[in-house]
Amino acid sequence: MAGRDGTKGDDDFESAAVARFGVAVGERLRAVRMQKGLSLYAVEVESDHEFKASVLGAYERGERAISAPRLLRLAAFYGVPADVLVPRPDDEIVLPGAAATESLRLDLVKLADLQTPEAVAISRYASAIQIRRGDFAGKVITLRRDDLTVLASVLGTTTTALVADLGSQGLVVPS
């Protein structure tokens, strides 16, 4: 199938993005269902057969797209806000050509000078990473993408906002 300019690439790119989004939504659907202690069949029965086990399973595997109204009804059934079922910025789908923050170098000396609760938490986390890596000599530590994700979660923010905040405080050392 050709794209707007006659190329197949646009359609392939869009299809891949839609598929990744569907998988991410499916993972969230499954996680919420499991947290509620429900099987696929139990959801079907308790929803008075509104949500068939086979269809819900296809949603969860990302094999079938769920409409927005159906997603809202399923969120209401589970008793969760609908946005819980939709990927968040930290779960962003990295498409070809898009750059995700892989890592950043954090200035530990400047961090030690800050006395905010957030700075203390970041410092503790950085120390734990140093212990785990056996890296005690540096005045700079590299926080990897997973480190940033965990730290952002603990601080109640997104990785994007965390990186911006660290940068605005002069804590990011250029590579």
pLDDT (tens digit per residue) in 3-30:
445 555 556 667 777 777 788 888 889 8
SS3 16: helix
In this predicted structure, the answer to whether residue 74 has a pLDDT above a threshold of 90 is yes
105, containing H or E segment: strand 103-107
9-91 maps to CATH 1.10.260.40: yes
pLDDT digits (tens, 9 = 90+) for 26-66: 888 988 888 888 999 999 999 999 999 999 999 999 899 89
- The domain made up of 103-173 has a fold known as Arc Repressor Mutant, subunit A (1.10.10)
User: Which residues belong to CATH 1.10.260.40 in the chain?
Assistant: 9-91
Instruction: Decide if 101 contacts 163 (C-beta within 8 A).
Output: yes
pTM over 0.75: no
CA distance 100 to 122: 21
Instruction: Decide if 147 contacts 114 (C-beta within 8 A).
Output: no
- Sort strands 140-144 and 172-173 into parallel, antiparallel or unpaired: unpaired
CA distance 16 to 18: 5
Q: In what order do the strands lie in the sheet with 172-173?
A: 140-144, 103-107, 172-173
